[in-house]
Amino acid sequence: MRRLPGVAWLALSIALLFGGGTAHARKMYRWVDEQGNVFFSDVVPPDQVQHKRETLSNKARVVDSVEKAKTIEELEQQKRLDALHKHQEKLIVKQSAEDKVLLSTYRSLDDMQTAFDKKRQGFDADRKLHEGNLQLLDKQLRSQQQQAADFERNGKTVPAKLLSDIDASKRQTDAVKQTIQRNQWERERYEADFKADIARFQFLTQGSEAGNTSTDKSSNTAADDAIGLYLCKNADDCQQAWKIAAGFVDQHATTAKDVETDSLIVRAAPLTDDDMSLSLSLIGNQHQQQIFLDIRCKASVIGSALCASHKAQAIRRSFVPYIQSMRQNR
């Protein structure tokens, strides 16, 4: 092994190694140590194998390379990143599966509208039923409270049974009110999902009807916007959009920074019911890249409601328009 002071030594080393003819030509390796010293040799010593090295041809061209050995910390970080990437990829695969279900369930937009109207009528019927029960419970509670007031006005002790009935009526009233509120949340979420499904169905069916006509596959659709998916037009657009998207995460995430690379940004897991943890991943290949925004909330009833709320949906839907607006202003 020889440490090279310059290009002259490289030429001499190659001449010595390959000068005997290609039949007996040996491999030459090049690597740089921690101090920045460049080495060339046909054998890599055991104490140098941790460095990135390149294999050179007899014309000093790089024909192969081996990356430097990763530290334990780097290996652990890579393991985490791989797991996060797989998680993000699964979300895209999930969208593809939902597309297939959507197309197999409905034949037309009219079919979708009919199903939506029927479901909405069901929500309305349930709400009327619960509101009717609430009116009966309110009337019952007022009557019970009036009876208790009569006892007190006449200087008599209110019977324990009546007090127990009043408490039961209050609990039932609260339960029905919660049911009505839950019915409203479910209706709003269903309507939001329906709008996204309509947009996605239109995109999928129009795309299939277009046949071989020219389409811009790098243009975002309403359905893409709804799931927080930005389609990059080219590498430069993706690079600029990624920086803007990182700023978007800074604005809306409520948890601390966890992972930040040039292809993955993840905020720490949500700790409270009010927390929103956002993540970005750069997905795709050299022909089509996408930036995907994900929102995570705490695994609780309130946390789940937060991620299904208008607030979370608004953040997701504003992601792509935000990038597009910032790109136009630059």
pLDDT tens per residue, range 262-282: 888 888 889 999 999 998 988
pLDDT, residue 252, reads: 95
Q: Of 303 and 78, which is predicted with more confidence? A: 303
Residue-level pLDDT at 182:
93
Please tell me the distance from the alpha carbon of residue 315 to that of residue 245, in angstroms, as a whole number.
Answer: 12
For residue 51, give the nearest of 240, 238, 37, 110 by alpha carbon.
37
Confidence of residue 143 (pLDDT cuts 50, 70, 90): very high
Q: Which CATH architecture has domain 222-329?
A: 2-Layer Sandwich (3.30)
- Distance CA(216)–CA(226), nearest Å, equals 19
Give the mean model confidence (pLDDT) for residues 69-75. Answer: 73
| Cβ contacts of 31 within 8 Å, gap of 6 or more | 38, 39, 44, 48, 51, 52, 53, 54
Structure confidence by residue, pLDDT tens digits, 213-227: 333 444 555 555 667
Question: Is a pLDDT exceeding 60 seen at residue 113?
Answer: yes
Choose from 31-35, 47-51, 121-125, 306-310 the range with maximum mean pLDDT. 121-125
When mean pLDDT is compared across 79-93, 118-132, 222-236, the lowest value belongs to: 79-93
Higher pLDDT, 95 or 48: 48
| 121 pLDDT above the threshold of 80 | yes
95 by DSSP, 3-state: which?
helix
> What percent of the chain is predicted at pLDDT more than 90?
37
What mean pLDDT comes out for the span 83-91?
Answer: 68
Judged against a pLDDT cut of 90, whether residue 259 lies above it is answered with no
For residue 313, give both structure tokens.
């949906």
pLDDT surpassing 60 at residue 19: no
Q: Provide the CA 93 distance to its chain's centre, in angstroms.
A: 12
Distance CA 183, CA 193 (A): 15
Confidence of residue 323 (pLDDT cuts 50, 70, 90): very high
Reported confidence tier of residue 200, pLDDT bands at 50, 70, 90? confident
- Is residue 39 within 8 A of residue 3, CB to CB? The reply is yes
> Sorting pLDDT into bands at 50, 70 and 90, what band is 6?
very low
Domain range summary for the chain, segments of one domain joined by +: 2-66, 109-209, 222-329
HSE value, Cβ hemisphere, 13 Å, CA-based, for 25: 17
Query: Which phi and psi (to 5°) does residue 108 adopt?
Result: -155, 170
- pLDDT score of 317 more than 80: yes
Both tokens assigned to 186: 């479910």
User: Among 44, 14, 38, which Cα is nearest to 26's?
Assistant: 14
Over the chain, what is the mean pLDDT? 81
pLDDT at position 122 is: 95
